[in-house]
Homo-oligomer: A and B are copies of this chain.
Amino acid sequence: MSSYEKVLVALRRVIRATDLHSKRLSKHAGLTGPQLLIMRTIRDLGEVTIGTIADHVSLSQATVTTILDRLEHRGLVYRVRSTRDKRKVHAHLTEQGEELLAQAPNPLQEDFVQKFQSLDEWEQTMILASLQRVANMMNADDIDASPVLTVGSMLKDDGWKEKA
């Protein structure tokens, strides 16, 4: 079994764990991971457009729309069409939404967060860098003028190309 095949398996396990946690969240807190993430974005950024939300949470605009549909239907969020530019739509939390969000748990497993934070700093850095590196390598074909990823630059914070 080649090394990258192991990466594939590890990836599937990570993705699955994330999904399972999302389902668990939805049962206990009434919000799934993506819903939670989107609401947090709205809270933190204030008067956001749908597109901005999509960028922030790494989802397509269409996906955010459908999730907002559900949230709006439940009275946790409302939309206002911008008067300045009527193409734009701004999302806001309702009072009920803010309350629910305030009580809601982390979008990541508490358990995971706790474990992660108890790691040595260098280890946290390494894990984060690895994940970002993987994300960059995977996204490379989406980004036309992708930066040259220097081998061995791992521990530098290379972040990733913010969409222009």
Chain A positions near chain B (C-beta within 8 angstroms) = 3-4, 6-18, 20-21, 37, 57-59, 107-109, 111-113, 115-120, 123-128, 130-135, 137-142, 149, 151-152, 154, 160
Q: Do residues B115 and A137 form an inter-chain contact, with CB atoms below 8 A? A: yes
Chain B residue with the shortest CB-CB distance to A131: B10
- Could you tell me the distance between the alpha carbons of A139 and B3 in the complex, rounded to whole angstroms? 21
| A138 close to B7 (CB less than 8 A) | no
A14: chain B residues at CB < 8 Å are 11, 14, 131, 134-135, 138
Instruction: List B contacts of A59 (CB < 8 A).
Output: 12, 16
Question: Which residue on B lies nearest to A149, using beta carbons?
Answer: B115
* Contact of A128 (CB < 8 Å), options: B7, B108, B115: B7
Asked whether, in the complex, the Cβ of B151 is within 8 Å of the Cβ of A17, the reply is no
Indicate if the CB atoms of A12 and B128 lie closer than 8 Å. no
A160: chain B residues at CB < 8 Å are: 13
A10 CB contacts on chain B under 8 angstroms: 128, 131-132, 134-135
Residues from chain B with Cβ under 8 Å of A117 in the complex: 3-4
Closest-CB distance, A11 to chain B (whole angstroms): 6
Choose among B15, B17, B21, B116 the residue that contacts A7 (Cβ–Cβ < 8 A): B116
Q: Report the minimum CB–CB distance from A17 to chain B (whole Å).
A: 4
Between A16, A20, A107, the greatest number of chain B beta carbons within 10 A of the residue's beta carbon is seen for A16
Is B58 a contact partner of A138 (Cβ separation < 8 A)? Answer: no
- Tell whether, in the assembled complex, residue B126 and residue A130 are in contact, meaning their CB atoms are under 8 Å apart: yes
CB of A109 within 8 A of CB of B152, answer no
